[in-house]
Amino acid sequence: MSALRAFVTDLLESEGAAVELVEPDCLDVLAPELLRRAFGWQEDLTRLGFSAASAHSAVRVGLEGDWLARFGALIGERGRWAARQLPTPNAAIPNQPEHLIERALDLPNAVWRLVDSRQTWTCCLLLAFRTTASSDEKRDGLIWLGFNLGTGAVLNGPLLERLGRILAEQSVWHPSDLEADTTARATALSAEQIAARIPPLLNHLVRDDLEPFLRSMHRRLERDRGRVHTYHNDLRQTALAKLAKLETATTDKAAADRKREALRVAAIEREYAAKSDDLEHKYALKICVEWAQGLILHAPVQRYDIMIKRRKGERLIALDWHASVRMLEAPLDEAGTGLEQSRYVCDENLHVTSTAGRVCPSCGKARCRACHPKTCARCAKV
Ligand SMILES: [Zn+2]
Ligand SMILES: [Zn+2]
């Protein structure tokens, strides 16, 4: 609970309160009027307790109940956006960049050549999305995705994780300075391009993130379905067997028994349908994804300008080696999620795109989804 206590201390102090740690898990809060009103505290001085062992007089604060919602209401929209700068590390830059690039840049239908390399700053846009998946159980998650606005690359996987770790480790918040801000201003992605890329990328990351949750949910659903089916099937088979025995009997009692068993079979079938409906409701899946936070991050990079050659066309692209995490980013992908390894270069405009969706499912011909995002140029189908 010490993380929550530290968070509450920071939050209340930033709202003008004086906060003092009085017992291992209690805070004395001298709160200004606005804050007292927001939390419904009567006295100037309030004691907050963070464990079950806290004094009876303390207001108990925990992750349960509505405390998180109340803190959220106090923060409001503040903190949704932030800008930060990573310090310049003293580490040496790669001495054989070609080897590094060779591993990251796989161009099956084009060749490349390194034409320039320089130290500079880039501007990264990191976005956090909160996910809530609920069916018979509930799962909350936080998904980060990022773009290098200087090169157009998607930041994901280990590179993004390491960036996040470095940011979390640095207790001193470095605001962006003028040099980094000016140097990193050149952007390879427009706001429209970013907006268009987020949904497919997010979709992919959410699916990946929820995969274990969905797998275990399906397992539970199949188990429950099996139980319901076995139970009702046994009852139905027993009733049907009784009916079969009564088939040839002609007495009045046999006729009444037949009617009763037939009604029983109908009732079992109705109950089975109702139980199956119940299961469908119980396991109905609802996934909610909402944007939580955005961070503009100025990061020191070694920028490689790479000339890409496809037939008679040439085009310059940039690829950044992120000095703080000592990793080369994946090359840009102008029509996909950027999560695959290979990139194809198109003949018309030398777009760089990944393999997903490159072959038209209708005519089987290769197409560039950056040139023709909606329909195939050859067969005009979606
Ligand atoms: Zn086609
Ligand atoms: Zn193209």
Residues 103 and 59 in one domain: no
Distance (Å) from CA 368 to ligand 1 centroid: 11
Residues 197 and 99 in one domain: yes
Residues 170 and 91 in one domain: yes
Distance (Å) from CA 382 to ligand 1 centroid: 8
Which three-class secondary structure string do you get for the chain? CHHHHHHHHHHHHHCCCEEEEEECCEEEEECCHHHHHHHCCCCCEEEEECCCCCCCCCEECCCCCCHHHHHHHHHCCCCCEEEEECCCCCCCCCCCHHHHHHHHCECCCCEEEEEEEEEEEEEEEEEEEEEEEECCCEEEEEEEEEEECCCCCEECHHHHHHHHHHHHHCCCCCCCCHHHHHHCCCCCCCHHHHHHHHHHHHHHHHHHHHHHHHHHHHHHHHHHHHHHHHHHHHHHHHHHHHHHHHCCCCCHHHHHHHHHHHHHHHHHHHHHHHHHHHHHHHCCCEEEEEEEEEEEEEEEEEEEEEEEEECCEEEEEEEEEECCCCEECCCCCCCCCCCCCECEECCCCCCEECCCCCECCCCCCECCCCCCCCCCCCCCCC
Predicted pLDDT of residue 186: 65
Domain that holds residue 29: 2-78
List, in sequence order, every residue forming a beta bridge with 55; answer none if it has no partner: none
Distance (Å) from CA 379 to ligand 2 centroid: 16
Q: Which ligand is nearest to the CA of 366?
A: 1
Residues near ion ligand 2 (CB < 5 Å) are: 346, 349, 351, 368, 370-371
Residues 87 and 189 in one domain: yes
Distance (Å) from CA 330 to ligand 2 centroid: 19
pLDDT tens digits in sequence order for the chain, 382 residues long: 678 898 899 999 988 999 999 887 899 999 998 889 888 888 889 999 988 777 778 888 888 778 888 888 888 888 889 888 888 888 788 999 999 999 999 999 999 999 999 999 999 999 999 999 999 999 999 999 999 999 999 998 999 999 999 988 887 777 777 666 676 676 788 888 899 899 999 999 999 999 999 999 999 999 999 999 999 999 999 999 988 888 887 788 888 888 898 999 999 999 999 999 999 999 999 999 999 999 999 999 999 999 999 999 999 999 999 999 999 999 999 988 888 889 999 999 999 998 877 888 888 888 888 898 888 888 887 7
Residues 200 and 347 in one domain: yes
Predicted pLDDT of residue 60: 87
Is 382 a domain residue? no
Domain end position, chosen among 40, 59, 78: 78
Is 361 a domain residue? no
Q: What domain count does the chain have?
A: 3
Q: What is the pTM for the complete model shown?
A: 0.80
Distance (Å) from CA 204 to ligand 1 centroid: 24
Residues 216 and 92 in one domain: no
Is 298 a domain residue? yes
Predicted pLDDT of residue 184: 67
Distance (Å) from CA 344 to ligand 2 centroid: 9
Distance (Å) from CA 315 to ligand 2 centroid: 12
Is 183 a domain residue? yes
Cβ density class 194-215: b for 16+ within 10 Å, e for less:
eeebeebbbebbbeebbeebee
Residues 157 and 228 in one domain: no
Residues 194 and 220 in one domain: no
Residues 183 and 330 in one domain: yes
Distance CA 235, CA 237 (A): 6
Q: Which ligand is nearest to the CA of 310?
A: 2
Residues near ion ligand 1 (CB < 5 Å) are: 360, 362-363, 376, 378-379
Q: From its phi and psi, is residue 251 left (phi > 0), alpha (psi between -120 and 50) or beta?
A: beta
Residues 39 and 56 in one domain: yes
Question: Cα-Cα-Cα-Cα dihedral of 172, 175, 176, 177, to 10°?
Answer: -90
Joined tokens for residue 61: 């604060």
Predicted pLDDT of residue 176: 73
Distance (Å) from CA 327 to ligand 2 centroid: 28
Distance (Å) from CA 353 to ligand 1 centroid: 17
Is 68 a domain residue? yes
Domain end position, chosen among 287, 316, 333: 287
Residues 176 and 322 in one domain: yes
Is 370 a domain residue? no
Distance CA 87, CA 82 (A): 16
Q: Which ligand is nearest to the CA of 362?
A: 1
Residues 199 and 300 in one domain: yes
Distance CA 103, CA 181 (A): 30
Is 381 a domain residue? no
Is 371 a domain residue? no
Q: Which ligand is nearest to the CA of 379?
A: 1
Domain end position, chosen among 232, 265, 287: 287
Joined tokens for residue 286: 């609802």
